[in-house]
Structure 1
Amino acid sequence: MATPLRVLVHGGGIGGLSLAVALARRGHTVEVAELREQLDALGVGIIQPSNALHVMRELGVLEQCLEVGFEWEVLTICDPAGNPLAKIPQPRMDGAPANNGIPRPALAEVLGRAAAEAGATVRFGTTIAELADDGEGVDVTLSDGSTGRWDLVVGFDGIGSPLRTRLYGDRHRPEYTGFANWRVTVPRQDEVQGVVMSTGNRAAKALLTPITPELMYLGAVFAEAEDFRPDPERAHEQLAERLAGFAGPVAEALTHVTDPAAVVYSRISQVTVEEPWHVGRVVLAGDAAHASTPHLAQGAAMAVEDALVLAQELDAAADVPAALAAWEARRRPRAMFVQSLSRAVLKQETGTATTPEEDELLEIGIPGAAHVLVKPY
């Protein structure tokens, strides 16, 4: 588009900040409305696979991510005792490493700084209170009482997206899978040079993921009742009880888990917006449109791809509606592949019956998916 746009991004997470960087560097006026009071990213750390790192390169922040993270090349599969069963080299996209583990707060800081340097504005403690799309623009009232008119509103506001509810009501509420993720940051062991995945009977898997030269996180997936929450006084003990069948590096990591407050617990849910992801000039992206289970480690990668591809389509299209249609045509098949295969892997690992369509996806498997996803997006 020849004329710079005014874009409001609802949500200052990884996807929202990536979009702010991409658009502001292209000369658009970008404001991010973030409900939190600062960019204090929740959680422990994440994996940036090669396709996510390719986006970081396009945003100009690849080196900053690698400086504060831990680059790795090989996935190690172990038995519950910690004995290696396989070492699987990971593929890479042109110009990007295979993987990088990074603390979530460090990634938020990198992207927040890049957004500010590009000229985007982040307004903390604010959310959308009212919204009216007349086809030519969107009039928005924010929760602080301020108003503005925007050419485009983008909802990067997560799996519980208020903007999704505003557009579609309760038709696309998060679907709980019956499983939950336990994660905690611990000192990195010297032998953990990449993700180490141990499989067992009670847990779908336990993973050790390096996120800095000094730190890694222990993650484990278990079947949990929907209303279960860890005991604030003994969450570390509850995690140890669930991992009692694991030895080796997982057991060693557990010796460092002594603070219940350090344990991060999150239910694994997914969202599938089967209707178009945009209504007029308001569009959903990332987890707001297509949240997946974490089994391919591609949730954040899909969000940052959404961001970069949206910026590219706004470059190429004659107007906003055409850009949104072209963006969704590019993004939906890839995001749905990630979601469908991630869910199939979860079901396979936990002994849940799979459909014939899921069986076909499982023939690709996690290693095959990595090779699919390093192809251009």
Structure 2
Amino acid sequence: MASPLRVLIHGGGIGGLTLATALARRGHSVEVAEVRPGPEALGVGIIQPSNALHVMREIGVLDACLAAGFEWEILTIADPAGNPLARIPQPRMGDAPSNNGIPRPALARVLADAAVTAGAKIRYSATVTDLTDDGDGVDVTLSDGSAGRWDLVAGFDGIGSPLRTRLHGDRYTPEYTGFANWRVTVPRLPEVEGVVMSTAGQQAKALLTPITGELMYLGAVFAEEADFRPDPERAHEQLAARLAMFSGPVAEALATVTDPSGVVYSRISQVTVDAPWHVGRVVLAGDAAHASTPHIAQGAAMAVEDAVVLAESLDAEPDVPAALVAWEARRRPRALWVQSMSRAVLRQETGSPTTPEEDELLKIGIPGAAHVLAKPY
């Protein structure tokens, strides 16, 4: 499109800030409405695979991500004692590194700084309270009392997306998979120079992921009742009990966890919007449209891919409606493939029944999936 657009992004997480930077760098007028009071992000660390790092290069923050994180090339599969069973080199997309582990707060700061530097405005403690799309534009009122008219509203507001609820009601509520993720930041062991995945059959899986030169996070997935929540005063003990079958590096990492408040617990849910991801000039992206389980570490990567492909589609098409159609045609097959593969791996690892379609995906496996996704998006 020849004329600059006015774009409101609902959600200032990884995908939303990536879109803000990509659009502001192109000269569009961009505002981000983020419900949190500031740029601080919750959580421990995140893996940026090569396709996500390729996006970071596109928006000009690759070097900042690598400086704040820990670049790695080899996935190690280990037994419960930490003895390596396989060392699998990871693919690269272009000249981006294979992977980067990075603390979530550090990534949030990098992306927020990039968006503001590019010219985007971020409104914290703000969410949509009223929205009217008349076909030519979208009139929006925010909870901070501001109002405006926008050419496009993009919902990068997460798996619990209020914008999705506004568009579709409760038709697409998150579906709990029956499993939950436990994560905690610990000192990095010298031998952990890339992700180390230790498995104890279908009982448990533990991952050690470096996120800086000094830190790594311990992650584990277990079946949990839907209403279970860790005891705030015993969460570290509850995690240790679940990982009791592990020795070696996992046990060494657990021994450093003495503060229950450092344990981050999150239920693993998924969402698939099978209706079009855009309604008029309002579009859902990232977890708001296609939240996946974390089993191939591609959730955030899909969100940032969504963002840069949306910016490219707005460049290439004559108007916003045409751009949204073109964007979804590119994004839906890849994002839903990631979702299907992630779900298949979850079921395989936990001994749950799989479908014939999932069995075909599992022939590719996690290493094969990395190669599939290190190709143009």
In the superposition, the TM-score normalised over structure 2's length comes to 0.99
Provide closer, same or farther for how the CA distance between residues 329 and 204 of structure 1 changes in structure 2, counting only shifts above 3 A: farther
Q: Distance in 1 between matches of 2:326 and 2:78?
A: 43
- Report the 3-state secondary structure (helix = DSSP H, G, I; strand = E; otherwise coil) of the residue aligned with 1:294: coil
In structure 1, the partner of 2:290 is 290
Q: CA deviation at 1:42?
A: 1.3
Preserved CA contact (<8 Å) 1:186 1:256: yes
Spell out structure 1 runs of 4+ moving beyond 3 A.
201-204
In structure 2, the partner of 1:33 is 33
Q: CA deviation at 1:202?
A: 6.0
Q: Distance in 1 between matches of 2:96 and 2:245?
A: 37
Q: Distance in 2 between matches of 1:236 and 1:162?
A: 32
Preserved CA contact (<8 Å) 2:202 2:349: no
**Count of matched residue positions in the alignment of Structure 1 and Structure 2:** 377
Residue segments in structure 1 that go unaligned for 5+ positions in a row = none
The percent identity for this pair of structures is: 80
- Report the 3-state secondary structure (helix = DSSP H, G, I; strand = E; otherwise coil) of the residue aligned with 1:42: coil
In structure 2, the partner of 1:219 is 219
Q: CA deviation at 1:184?
A: 0.1
In structure 2, the partner of 1:59 is 59
In structure 1, the partner of 2:176 is 176
Q: List per-residue Cα deviations over 1:131-152 (Å, max 9, x = no partner).
A: 0000000000101121100000
1:349 aligns with 2:349: yes
Q: Distance in 2 between matches of 1:244 and 1:204?
A: 10
| 2:333 alignment partner AA | P
In structure 1, the partner of 2:261 is 261
Q: Distance in 1 between matches of 2:89 and 2:319?
A: 43
1:136 aligns with 2:129: no
- Report the 3-state secondary structure (helix = DSSP H, G, I; strand = E; otherwise coil) of the residue aligned with 1:183: strand
State the Cα RMSD in Å. 0.6
Q: Distance in 2 between matches of 1:202 and 1:351?
A: 6
In the superposition, the TM-score normalised over structure 1's length comes to 0.99
| 2:177 alignment partner AA | T
Q: Distance in 2 between matches of 1:219 and 1:203?
A: 14
In structure 2, the partner of 1:235 is 235
Q: List per-residue Cα deviations over 1:62-105 (Å, max 9, x = no partner).
A: 00000010000000000111111000000001120000000000
In structure 2, the partner of 1:305 is 305
Q: Distance in 1 between matches of 2:154 and 2:362?
A: 33
- Report the 3-state secondary structure (helix = DSSP H, G, I; strand = E; otherwise coil) of the residue aligned with 1:199: strand
| 1:21 alignment partner AA | T
1:273 aligns with 2:273: yes
Q: CA deviation at 1:204?
A: 3.7
Residue segments in structure 2 that go unaligned for 5+ positions in a row = none
Q: Distance in 1 between matches of 2:67 and 2:82?
A: 29
Q: How does 1:159-174 map to 2 (within 5 A)?
A: 159-174=159-174
Preserved CA contact (<8 Å) 1:202 1:222: no
| 2:281 alignment partner AA | R
In structure 1, the partner of 2:102 is 102
